[in-house]
Amino acid sequence: MATDKAYKVLAQAKDISNKKAKELIDRGLVYVEDKKVKIARAEISTDTNFRIEYPDDIEILYQDENIVAVNKPAQVDSYDIQDAIEGAELLHRLDRDTSGVLLLGRNEAFIKQAINEFKNRRVEKHYVAWVEGVLYEEIEIDEPIFTIKKGKAFSVIDPVRGKKAYTKVKPEEIQGKKSKVCIEITTGRTHQIRVHLASIGHPIVGDEQYGSRTQAKRVLLHSSQMKIFDYEFNAREPKDIAKYK
């Protein structure tokens, strides 16, 4: 059976450049059946049938002279959205896999004030996720988080070097051995929700980096609502969050 590097086989199959093919694999958009192709240089059969899942169009929830609120699709980098919206600057970031409310500022004075709100924990942030296992009761997690930023960022619970982090988790629905939960955070540490949920034995479904054993097309985490100053933004749940298959 003939094999070649995955990105080369993809380039040939889809009639695109090797560079473009590698970029699509690195962005996590390429699948073979239900499995994501993770390593662009992995050897793969030359007759492999690929599927490319492009992200949804970016939906603007609200905009005025100060702020733009976007319903970010999963598998899109926050910076790609900043690049796509002229004259707007990110006020915070969501992980590439996370969907939902993402906020950008339009003028320097507002951006400065908004970043200050985030720093002083005055921004209300609500999320929805599917987690491994059955969660019956509300739980508050306030373990300090330390982030290692060499290469791919990775966070750990670390009482000595960690920074304060607070996450409140409330069960909403149970499906088999998975639970849908509502989450509120007051801090914004790197991978905070993911590492906090993993620390209580309930990693987010699809989050292999933090111990999920279930394969999913992405980490099933969605930013559902944000409140800053007098603004309130809500992003509807995408299909994979609204109903777990």
Give the residue numbers marked as catalytic: 95
Sequence-distant (6+) residues with CB within 8 A of 78 are 72, 90, 93, 94, 96, 102
Cα separation of 51 and 61, whole Å? 29
Give the torsion sign (CA, 34, 35, 36, 42): negative
Instruction: Sort 104 into a burial class: Cβ within 10 Å, 0-12 / 13-18 / 19+.
Output: buried
Cα separation of 186 and 193, whole Å? 11
Cα separation of 135 and 182, whole Å? 11
Pairing of strands 124-132, 154-157: unpaired
